[in-house]
Amino acid sequence: MAKAPFTTEQQSVRVLKVGERVRHILSELLARGEVHDDVVSAANISVTEVRMTPDLRHATAYIKPLLGAGEDEVVHALRQNTAFLQREVAKRLGLKFAPKLRFRKDESFAEADRIEALLRDPKVVRDLEGDEEE
């Protein structure tokens, strides 16, 4: 008897779960210092998010070094060690196909700071105070 195909909701939950597992695996590899690269070993790197494609073939990992120092160098070093990281993720993940990893620096913190600055703008504060009175 053939297996019933996944609904789109079940498939998207699966994509999120696999992405989270990949994030945990990458975080563990980086925390334990298993990547033999001076730049990666010297930096305390946080994997903030991993986004998977729906077919689970590609994973984009968003990283942030502690205090944001040397982001470009860290991303470059991780890209140079992609083959090792993909091999380790494949071993620990146990999927039919190992996802191809891409590393990008996480811009969400900078975006949050930009939004905070906009909300602190005197014109915006004045408009927001007018809404509270109504």
Per-residue confidence band for 126, with pLDDT thresholds at 50, 70 and 90: confident
pTM of the model: 0.75
Tokens of 16: 């999120």
Element (H, E) at 65: strand 58-65
pLDDT at 1: 43
pLDDT at 132: 55
Residue with tokens 């992609």: 82
CA atoms within a 13 Å half-sphere pointing along the CA-CB vector of 61: 29
pLDDT at 60: 94
* CA 105 – CA 63 distance, rounded (Å): 5
pLDDT at 134 exceeding the cut of 60? no
Arithmetic mean of pLDDT over the chain: 83
**Phi/psi of residue 127, nearest 5 degrees:** -65, -40
* CA 71 – CA 63 distance, rounded (Å): 8
Q: Domains for the chain: give ranges and CATH numbers.
A: 8-106 (3.30.300.20)
Per-residue confidence band for 103, with pLDDT thresholds at 50, 70 and 90: very high
State the average pLDDT over residues 73-99.
Answer: 90
Per-residue confidence band for 95, with pLDDT thresholds at 50, 70 and 90: confident
Q: Provide CB contacts within 8 A for 93, sequence distance 6+.
A: 18, 21, 22, 25, 99
pLDDT at 5 exceeding the cut of 70? no
